[in-house]
């Protein structure tokens, strides 16, 4: 097989034709409002509520600041039960509000926090559960809600990967007290950098809006220790433009996903990660597990792909609990997290994005087939 001249990255942002951005930019230039909740920002909030099927959205400059603000809005402190199998921002957000992450193992099928292991980790200091819909696959929201209700805990979903994902009862973003999205360049829906908090009532939305604007209530009153989490008008313009074609983009991703599944279906030792039965999915990632039955280790396959200019990613390796700053936490031990450790050593996320050609999927599958 001949090595591709240009790298095939794990993802590539969708960029609409540049000319289509010009009218939005002209609006910004005309009205000279660049940020601080301008007209495009407001338009994007209301368009996203309609598209996603949620009550209220507050836009942010990135998903990490949105996560921190969500925790701040709910006054989270003490211990928070979370997953080690995520991007490091999930635990970092807890540290930024002075809470302690308590790592609980993941379910081997969904790769999300294992709800059956949550109760054993609850102590009198526990205030909340911060779960992640990893790769856009839904957590066991019903079990998590039940546990949270019986112990009086808040539930925050890190839904950074879960844009546009629905379950039997509509958007998965409607579960929990708050859900947080990321609109980073590498995400299904991007505003260059960006994020959002989804909430269910206007009072909470207003509180979050204050928090992301330094805590200002009026121009003369600061009522809380807020932050600058505002999304700029250029990012909002990018969002409005993306939203026009989001359904086609998701459809193209779905075709790539389906093609991978066909091509990889009978390769011994390669397991495609399945969803949790979502009624609408976003194909944000294409994770595979390289099991003991495959002739190469995960890292050998990762390097082999690289030698052919296929730049996959090991999301999520290392585990958050293995980073130097977290590894001494009592809950970070390998014995406490056997499934997360095993998964983290077997995972590769293969390239997936709307423009990825099916020929390139064939090329990647052929490398894996050997």
The least CB distance from residue 218 to ligand T4K, in Å, is 29
Q: What is the nearest approach in angstroms of ligand T4K to the Cβ of residue 134? A: 7
Closest approach of ligand T4K to the CB of residue 214, in Å: 19
Min CB(195)–ligand T4K separation in Å: 5
Nearest to 251 by CA among 353, 156, 328, 162: 353
Q: How far apart are CA 239 and CA 262, in angstroms?
A: 33
Number of residues that bind ligand T4K (CB under 6 A): 24
130 vs 294, beta carbon nearer ligand T4K: 130
* Candidate residues 283, 315, 317, 326; the one interacting with ligand T4K per rule CB under 6 A: 315
Which is nearer to ligand T4K, 153 or 156 (by Cβ)? Answer: 156
Q: Give yes or no for residue 347 binding ligand T4K (CB under 6 A).
A: no
Residues 258/358, Cβ–Cβ less than 8 Å: no
Q: From the list 153, 171, 313, 351, which residue makes contact with ligand T4K (rule: CB under 6 A)? A: 313
Q: Does 89 bind ligand T4K (CB under 6 A)?
A: yes
24/189 with CB nearer ligand T4K = 189
Q: Of the candidates 49, 246, 311, 367, which one interacts with ligand T4K according to CB under 6 A?
A: 311
Q: How far is the CB of 193 from ligand T4K (least distance, A)?
A: 6
To ligand T4K, the closest distance from the beta carbon of 231 in angstroms equals 11
Judge if the upstream peptide bond of residue 211 is cis by omega within 30 degrees of 0.
Answer: no
Those residues whose C-beta lies under 8 Å from the C-beta of residue 173, and which sit 6 or more positions away, are 52, 54, 157, 159, 162, 179, 181, 198
- The H-assigned helical ranges of the chain are 18-31, 39-52, 63-73, 89-96, 141-151, 202-211, 233-244, 246-264, 298-307, 338-344, 358-369
Nearest residue to 83 via CA among 341, 367, 362: 341
User: Which residues have CB under 8 Å from 143's CB, separation 6+?
Assistant: 115, 116
**CA–CA–CA angle 255, 258, 259 (5° rounding):** 85
| Residues lying near ligand T4K in the complex (CB under 6 A) | 9-13, 62-64, 86-87, 89-90, 132, 158, 160-161, 182, 184-186, 195, 311, 313, 315
């Amino acid at each position: 097989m001949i090595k591709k001249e240009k790298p095939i990255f794990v993802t590539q942002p969708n960029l609409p034709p540049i000319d289509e951005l010009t009218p939005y930019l002209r609006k910004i230039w005309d009205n000279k409002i660049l940020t601080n909740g301008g007209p495009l920002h407001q338009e994007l909030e209301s368009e996203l509520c309609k598209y996603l099927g949620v009550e209220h959205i507050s836009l942010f400059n990135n998903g990490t600041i949105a996560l921190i603000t969500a925790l701040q809005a709910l006054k989270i402190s003490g211990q928070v039960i979370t997953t080690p199998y995520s991007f490091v921002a999930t635990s970092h957000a807890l540290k930024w509000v002075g809470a302690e992450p308590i790592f609980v193992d993941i379910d081997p099928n969904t790769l999300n926090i294992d709800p059956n292991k949550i109760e054993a980790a609850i102590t009198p200091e526990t205030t909340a559960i911060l779960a992640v819909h990893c790769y856009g696959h839904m957590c066991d929201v019903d079990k998590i809600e039940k546990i949270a209700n019986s112990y009086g805990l808040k539930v925050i979903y890190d839904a950074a990967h879960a844009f546009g994902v629905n379950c039997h009862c509509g958007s998965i973003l409607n579960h929990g007290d708050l859900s947080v999205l990321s609109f980073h360049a590498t995400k299904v829906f991007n505003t260059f950098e960006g994020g959002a908090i989804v909430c269910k009532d206007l009072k909470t939305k207003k509180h979050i809006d204050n928090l992301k604007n330094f805590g200002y209530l009026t121009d003369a009153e600061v009522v809380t220790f807020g932050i600058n989490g505002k999304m700029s008008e250029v990012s909002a313009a990018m969002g409005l433009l993306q939203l026009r074609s989001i359904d086609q983009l998701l459809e193209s991703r779905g075709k790539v996903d389906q093609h991978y599944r066909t091509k990889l279906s009978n390769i011994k030792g390669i397991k495609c990660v399945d969803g949790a039965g979502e009624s609408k999915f976003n194909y944000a990632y294409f994770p595979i597990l390289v099991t003991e039955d495959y002739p190469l280790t995960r890292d050998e396959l990762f390097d082999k792909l690289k030698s052919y200019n296929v730049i996959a990613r090991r999301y999520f390796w290392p585990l958050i609990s293995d980073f130097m700053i977290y590894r001494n936490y009592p809950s970070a031990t390998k014995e406490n997290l056997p499934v997360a450790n095993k998964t983290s050593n077997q995972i590769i996320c293969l390239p997936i994005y709307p423009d990825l050609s099916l020929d390139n999927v064939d090329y990647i599958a052929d490398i894996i087939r050997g």
